[in-house]
């Protein structure tokens, strides 16, 4: 991005994709949606939107149903994955309601057509929504079983010509091992795509990392629990790990 196109608010990017897990919407609950948590994340998104940044979102469905777990419990894998995709639509609608209560125009766009509740995915239409300042929440993954929402996020970020992917997690970056279990875990400030794959670090699945690498999409991993963290990272502040780029 040139200085001429950079928002006057100090944001380093004009168009980004925010990926969050379904579990991020649970709050302290063990299942489902926690409305105050959904509202808190919506306020984080609004803070970045108010900076003039165009925002896409992809939200997982693990707080309601996770395809791999369903498959392990005896549900046929393809069916389980479709059930997981439907869970992401529920989360997307919840986030849409929270954002619109804050005055942010939003579109939920599903890879599986369900015209009564959201729009079908049409790339040019989605781009136009972003240009008009609407937040686009992409739901139902890629529309195909065996692909995670991480891969869907990287695919949509590439299709929308996003300049970076921001992955909000429960920790403030990428570590060499789980910092919640190991006090000596070391955080990376920056790390290459190939190192993530070689070390099998759980940033995103291998397909998503490879797709980001091939499209030169940097991935910023940061904590969603830090108030103002998303807006801070957009300005280059705070604690995070940058993958590739």
- The tens digit of pLDDT for each residue in 198-223 reads 999 989 999 999 999 999 999 999 99
The SS3 of residue 199 is coil
Question: How far apart are the C-alpha atoms of 72 and 154, rounded to whole Å?
Answer: 26
Neighbours of 102 (CB within 10 A): 14
Taken in order of first residue, the domains within the chain and their CATH numbers are: 15-243 (3.40.1160.10)
Q: Per-residue confidence at 11, pLDDT binned at 50, 70, 90?
A: confident
User: 82-96 burial, b for 16+ CB within 10 Å, e for fewer?
Assistant: bbbbbbbbbbbbbbb
Q: Using the predicted structure, report yes or no on whether residue 189 has a pLDDT greater than 80.
A: yes
Please state the rounded mean pLDDT for residues 83-102: 97
174, exposed or middle or buried, with CB in 10 Å at 0-12, 13-18, 19+?
A: buried
Please state the rounded mean pLDDT for residues 68-72: 72
Question: How far apart are the C-alpha atoms of 144 and 35, rounded to whole Å?
Answer: 29
Q: Identify the residue with better confidence: 225 or 142.
A: 142
How many residues are listed for the chain in this entry?
Answer: 245
């Amino acid at each position: 991005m040139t200085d001429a196109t950079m928002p006057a608010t100090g944001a380093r990017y004009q168009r980004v994709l925010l990926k969050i897990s379904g579990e991020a919407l649970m709050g302290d609950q063990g299942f489902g949606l926690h409305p105050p948590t959904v509202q808190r994340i919506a306020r984080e998104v609004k803070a970045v939107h108010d900076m003039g940044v165009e925002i896409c979102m992809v939200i997982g469905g693990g707080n309601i149903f996770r395809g791999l777990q369903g498959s392990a419990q005896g549900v046929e894998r393809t069916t389980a994955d479709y059930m997981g995709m439907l869970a992401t639509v529920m989360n997307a609608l919840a986030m849409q309601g929270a954002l619109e209560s804050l005055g942010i125009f939003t579109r939920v766009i599903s890879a599986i057509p369900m015209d009564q509740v959201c729009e079908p995915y049409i790339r040019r239409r989605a781009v136009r929504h972003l240009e008009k300042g609407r937040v686009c929440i992409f739901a139902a993954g890629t529309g195909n079983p065996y692909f995670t929402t991480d891969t869907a996020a990287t695919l949509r970020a590439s299709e929308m010509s996003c300049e970076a992917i921001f992955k909000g997690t429960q920790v403030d970056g990428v570590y060499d091992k789980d910092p919640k279990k190991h006090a000596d875990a070391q955080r990376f400030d920056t790390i290459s795509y190939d190192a993530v794959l070689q070390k099998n670090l759980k940033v995103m699945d291998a397909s998503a990392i490879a797709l980001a690498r091939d499209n030169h999409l940097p991935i910023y991993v940061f904590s969603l629990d830090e108030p103002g963290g998303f807006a801070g990272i957009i300005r280059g502040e705070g604690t995070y790990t940058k993958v590739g780029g």
